[in-house]
Amino acid sequence: MNNAEFLPAPRIGIAYSLYPGKTVIRAGFGMHYELQDALGYRMDQNAPFNPVYSIANLPVAKLPINPAAPVPTNALLVPGGVQPDMSMPTLISYTLGIEQALTPNTTLMLRYVGSHGYHEIVGVDANTPYPTICPASPCPAAYPSNFPVRLAGTPVRAGSFYIPVGRPRQNPTLANTWTWFSWGDSSYNALQVDVNRRFSSGLSFRGVYTWSKALDDGDSLNQTTAGNAPGLISNPYDIKADWGLATYDVRNVGVVSVVYDLPFGKGKQLLTVSAD
């Protein structure tokens, strides 16, 4: 299903000078999309060209497996796929800032920057067993257990998911899947401080500090793309259970830059080029 036939992407920017040459207020808003033009990557591990198999309880003594041998009868295919009615990942960004001239050559900017993302792509095992939502039967009386020990008399928490040992997958002829779904959400909020100072003789200084926080429920589409996030959603029936700090969350960032315009060439002190 093509959900990218109409993707309005407005951009709005406003600047207002409270005191000309002294104080300026700026605000902006925009919508952005990510077109899914690389979905073939998620499909490349499917049969018959590049299949991936899972073999349960395989003794180590049987490794390595001969790739020229027939596929073992107890091997289950690990298919890759994408959500057939995927939506386009969308990001709404917004900013509000005030710039103040402290001196004729020094300005200070305070800026809030935020964004909200939805329909973002996350990796999901689409072939998990159907869970029982407790406290419906057959939830055991001791489930879920409190870590590290369950307090005596603690009732089963309503809404908990329970999958008893041995319950088959939705499709028992397949192993787990690695499927991309547009279920993810994200949030970013930041405060930025920007100081600019222009000195004489072509020297300028700029210092920027950002205090931010990034949250999401999954940003690693594959295990190799992020060092501190799982490749797959922990529980596809409760994606919000993975809501937390994003792998790209960096709380404090500071950058200082110095620019010096060399005094060479036309209009400069040294090696001046004449108009002739």
Whole-angstrom distance, CA of residue 89 vs CA of residue 247:
18
3-state DSSP: the chain helix, strand, coil percent, rounded to 5?
Answer: 5, 40, 55
The first and second tokens of residue 40, run together, are 């073939």
Residue 257: φ, ψ to 5° = -130, 145
At residue 243, the 3 state secondary structure works out as coil
Residues 6 or more apart in contact with residue 19 via CB below 8 angstroms = none
Whole-angstrom distance, CA of residue 265 vs CA of residue 7:
49
User: Is 18's pLDDT higher than 50?
Assistant: yes
Beta strand extents in 104-202 (DSSP E only): 106-124, 132-133, 161-162, 178-198
User: What is the mean pLDDT of the segment spanning 225-240?
Assistant: 79
Whole-angstrom distance, CA of residue 66 vs CA of residue 203:
67
Residues 6 or more apart in contact with residue 224 via CB below 8 angstroms = 231
Q: How many CB atoms lie within 10 A of CB 130?
A: 12
Do β-strands 80-82 and 178-198 pair in parallel, antiparallel, or remain unpaired? parallel
User: How distant is the alpha carbon of residue 93 from its chain centre?
Assistant: 15
Which of 167, 224, 5, 193 lies closest to 97 in space, CA to CA?
193
Whole-angstrom distance, CA of residue 223 vs CA of residue 3:
27
What's the pLDDT score for residue 39?
Answer: 85
Q: Mind listing the pLDDT tens digit for each residue in 82-128?
A: 999 999 999 999 999 999 999 989 999 999 999 999 999 999 999 99
Cis amide prior to 64 (ω within 30 degrees): yes
Q: Mind listing the pLDDT tens digit for each residue in 47-63?
A: 888 888 899 888 888 88
Place of tokens 């920057």: 113
Q: Mind listing the pLDDT tens digit for each residue in 153-194?
A: 555 567 788 888 889 999 999 999 989 999 999 999 999 999
